[in-house]
Amino acid sequence: MESIKNRNKILIIFLLVLLMACNSASDYSFKSLLKAFNSWISIHSNESLDDLNSKNFFIRNKKGTSEYFSEYFFDLKRFKLELFQIDKKSLNNKNRNIHIALNEKINSLLYSHSYSSYTWDPIYYIEPLNNYLLNLLLCNNLGYDMKIQYIDDALDYIPLYFNRTKKTLLSSNDYFIKRAISEINITQELLENIPLYIDFNDTVFIDIEKKIYNNVKFMKSYEDWLESKKTNEALTEKRSIAKILNNALFDIENKYNYSNSIDSLELKIKMLKKDILHSASIIYFADNSIEKTILENYEDSTASLYYILDKNSKPSNINKDYSSQVIYFNDKYKKLLESFDIIDINEIEIEFPYYNTLFELFENSIFIINPYYSSNPMNVIINSYNNSDLFKTEAEIFLVEEVLSRTFYFNDFSDSHIDIYNDINHYSWSKFLSTYIDYKDYNIIDQNYRFLYKLDLLQDFLKILIKYKYYNNEISKEDAIFLLINEGFIDKKMSSKIFEEIIYNYVENDLEKFISYMYLYDLFNDYCLINKKMSEAEFIKKIFKHGFLPIYNYKTVLN
């Protein structure tokens, strides 16, 4: 009897060792696959991953050649197949979560690739180059000689890079070419301003100056070539886009277990509109010293809203200089971070490069040059503001939605992964943080903040709704523009341009941004407000600790 017990013990120990060995083998295989994917994406997205080696960007990455896009597609399919062959149930908890996130990342890359935007959108090539040049020129952790070498190599490679695109850019339309030329203007200005960023000795400067001149001249000829690719024909059939959008809708609703998303979207737009009009009336009365908290009717509320929009568009009497704006930005960042009352969190290092004549070409008034900030200082550009009051509010929204979200994700308590960074997650965190700080009713923000962030959210959601309804033939162009003006409070002069942005930027999976935001806030309500399963600070720490996970999987780390 004793021998049987001993044999059973030995058998149990053997099975445990065998199970651990299998798990270890699976974890090892997964880590090898993840390492291979990291290496692959460092070549294909190096402009956003702190890889400033010019040969990696221009030579190893053969973007523009016909072979490149076939290889890109088959590489992703191969990664997906190999990932499928690794049973995530046999992985440890950490690797299981990363497995889920990696699968989502690969799917999103395949989704974007399916539109073949590289055959008709020049921005596909120009924007990554501008991001790379900005990161290179403003980087402070490269040695002097290395930085000069990378700049010199880049000037040699740029014509080669754009000549490759001529083999795959088959045709385009007026909308995409206008956008491309705006980006090319930025490229040219970046090139011409290279001497602002680094001191060259006389010999090197003469050579660099000549290369800059030749590159600017080349870019102007490239503009002419782009104009020759213009066509009035549809780049993609409307019904084909509708099919892709509807398939995406079905997949997203399944992932999040979220039904009737379009109906939910319409309802959310109505609720936001009501909140915005209420905020507008409060601001209007405060500005005009009227002792009321809400206006009598819809027409008056709408009038108060347009009063605020008109006020924001006008220069103020008091203009802050650049140094004052930087001081305000830094002080507000510290106060906002403290207001979340999350312990063990460190501020991130922020620098403010200032070459204002250059950055005025960019659309955004405040933006981050290296948005995938991890270890380098975060470079924030503040363009000139004529309206100091508007700067204050926009800076606060930017700090909450862009800087705080990255502070939480890239902090010591977070298990951050740059390689599988998810733009859908980032959008949801950003909007959730604004909604959260509004819900907390902190004195640190005012009605102007509440008004502007909700207006941005309303306009985002309205654009998503218009895209789906337009491609499914539920509304016409005229209907869409009417909605933009009357429901989104968009200026009439801008409405046609915004409509073009909506119908041509169909590569973006915008509906998931809405659903993931709603899903995240519903989780917050469930865990913190209704059932009180955890504190609000604990909830925020947990979602950012596992921020790389797709949001529809957040329940697994909250329970």
Write out the E strands in 159-254. Answer: none
CB distance 428 to 435 below 8 Å: no
pLDDT at 524 over 80: yes
How buried is 261 (Cβ within 10 angstroms: 0-12 exposed, 13-18 middle, 19+ buried)?
A: buried
| Cα distances (angstroms) measured from residue 114 to each of 66, 109, 335, 417 | 15, 9, 44, 25
428 in Cβ contact with 478 (< 8 Å): no
What is the widest separation between alpha-carbon atoms in the chain? 95
Rounded to 10 degrees, the C-alpha dihedral 271/277/280/285 comes to: -130
DSSP-derived 3-state class of residue 443? coil
- Long-range (24+ apart) CB contacts under 8 A made by 282-291 are 282/447, 283/308, 283/447, 283/448, 283/451, 284/308, 286/447, 287/311
- Contact between 110 and 80 (Cβ < 8 Å): yes
pLDDT digit string, tens, across residues 321-333: 788 889 999 999 9
Name, in order, each residue with C-beta under 8 angstroms of 471's C-beta and a sequence gap of 6 or more: 238, 241, 242, 245, 503, 506
Is residue 540 within 8 A of residue 342, CB to CB? The reply is yes
Domain extents for the chain? 2-114, 123-228, 236-313+388-559
More confident residue, 139 or 102: 102
Q: What does residue 78 show for φ and ψ, rounded to 5 degrees?
A: -65, -45
Percent of the chain with pLDDT over 70: 88
Q: What's the sign of the alpha-carbon dihedral 296, 300, 306, 308?
A: negative
pTM for the model: 0.89
Task: Give the position of tokens 């936001």.
Answer: 272
Is-contact 56 43, C-beta < 8 A?
yes
Sheet architecture: strand order including 366-368: 350-351, 378-382, 366-368
Mean pLDDT (the chain, rounded)? 85
pLDDT single digits (tens) 44-93: 876 555 678 888 888 888 888 878 888 999 999 999 999 999 988 889 98
**Mean pLDDT computed over 494-520:** 89
More confident residue, 357 or 155: 155
Confidence of residue 373 (pLDDT cuts 50, 70, 90): low
Q: Extract the tokens encoding 432.
A: 């959730």
pLDDT band at 375 (very low <50, low <70, confident <90, very high): low
pLDDT above 90 (res 518): yes
